[in-house]
Structure 1
Amino acid sequence: MPADDRRGEALRIALVGIGSAATRAHLPALRDAEASGAVQLVGVCDPDGARREAVIAAHPNTAGFADNDAMLEATAPHLLVIATPPSAHLGEMAAAAERGVHVLCEKPLGLSDADVAALRALAREHPELALATVHQYRFATPWRWMARAAAGAVDGGEPFSLHADVERPGTDPLSAGGWRADPEHEGGILGDHAVHYLALFALLDPGCAVVACHREGPGGREVASVEVRIGSAGTGRIEVSYAGSRRANVIRLERRAQCLQMDWADATLTVVHDGMPSRPRTAVSLSDRAVVNALYAPMYDELIAHLRDRSWRMQTTAHTLGVAALLADAIRLAR
């Protein structure tokens, strides 16, 4: 039953994939939403029986399944949350869409041009459904400040630059799967870290375009850079590394016409205007796993509040398609 046909009932949610993303971020956010009565977790699916039982123990009204199709048939959810490895995403999205079920899918989508074509076909065949992707960084307050400043440059057609730099000493050691170290089949570092910033750039300009991408190094120790055109005169650069010695995130915005520079380096935000630096202020850090996980809560709040809104669903699906195409372009250019 499409979510816009609900009549005040709790949003019925099914979850496929009970790895680290589910246990560290999705399930805690859903637990809070369940406590408010806004949602009901009706089913979880994973081939690992112990994982299923652990979730069911914490959610007694939830049923466990080893097969996604069986879960969708038995539970009739309004929304399927997909937290499986990237290569499984499209098949699970299609299974949900065929049953009139909205989708919230973990990144990345868009591992190839063929994947993007399949995703576009899915959206075209099911225009009433929301096909949403987990890109939660946009809910971080420092980014919202930077985005407002960058949006002014985009709207005014003035030159500006956005530079995102992510450093990690290897892939996430807490991840239950190894997809992050498999660039050929699962997207690697471009699908893990770079796609978050492609998603942020696409919010500033849905027509932004990847113009260059370079990637080198073996899986799990990759280094990559992506160059993006934003608006009529803006540039974006994303540099990501699994070969670093620390966990660090830096985003820098420079607006030349206003002589404005904003640096968000881990937990500190500094603004320089007309050569006068502000006092550095404490900010959340995107290199902090707890911060990134906590951003799932406002993501779910937005989804629950707006899923019945057709214009929101269309905008959300359009963003999903746009970011998937940007990632596919980056991966293709990197080969």
Structure 2
Amino acid sequence: MREASIELRAWRQFLAVAEELHFGRAAQRLHMTQPPVTQAIAQLEKTLGVVLFDRTRRRVALTPAGEALLPEVRELLARAQALPGRARAAAAGELGRVRLAFVSTIGFERLPAWVREFRLQCPEVALELVEATGDVQLEGFARDEIDAGLMLHSPGFAPPGLERLAVSEEPLVLALPSRHPLARRARLPLAEALAEPLVIFPRRIVPSLHDAIFGLYHAAGRAPQVAQEAIQMQTIVNLVWGGLGLAWVPESVTQFRRAGVVYRAAAEFAPAARRRPPVLPACETSLVWPASGANPALGRFVQFIDAQLRHDRAAQ
């Protein structure tokens, strides 16, 4: 059996009578005459199939059914009254949801601080976080499973078709076992570092950065000796600890302290005659999102990140 719909006006009339326990005073409160209020309550009881008020000549009292409905009706009307304001808040990006994917490197330091501050500024925007590599993020955009991503790439090589806000640029440093002979040096001679086995992420994860690292080897006249591939930076560092090889990692990864692993910058070496020195690779992190995105909460999040970056630059 299909339930009959009841307008909010009927519930407002019920609430007035329930709180006043007097039809005359309830009518005055509603700026009505008494007969329409009496008729409205009778119609509400008929629609519900229950009696809400005991009526005598001397008093009006709520029945148990009316008592049970009273807090629910108060909540219903309060929520209905709040709807226009919540609609305006949603349109302004102050209410809603942002599904944010991120690479692990941004999660070591900057992301936790941003999440904390954003929640203070926009407490009614749900920020859903998922750690994902660049290739997984692109798939997520294609399936409309994420709204924005913090993605790692070689400087200037953000994926096409996405809006982009550059977040940071940092050099790559070498992770190596602390027991390795080269670990005794403050800076690693590049020629010696390039001769070591390499632990690296698969090309599909960050093609531009993978190509930049391989380009460094080729510019120095060497072929990379890939000992092992791994997806997550923490796994790569753990494999370095296991002695499988050296790894080029973003400088921010040095925040990941792994006993038995040290991080060293590479020192350029003098190339052979008539050859330009190899360019040490760097990486960039960008906030990216679809150009067609119409999520106001996402717009508010992008504005927030932009403001944070401007503040950081001003403080430097």
* TM-score normalized by the length of structure 2: 0.29
Pick the structure with more strand per residue: 1
* TM-score normalized by the length of structure 1: 0.28
Name which one, 1 or 2, has greater alpha-carbon Rg.
2
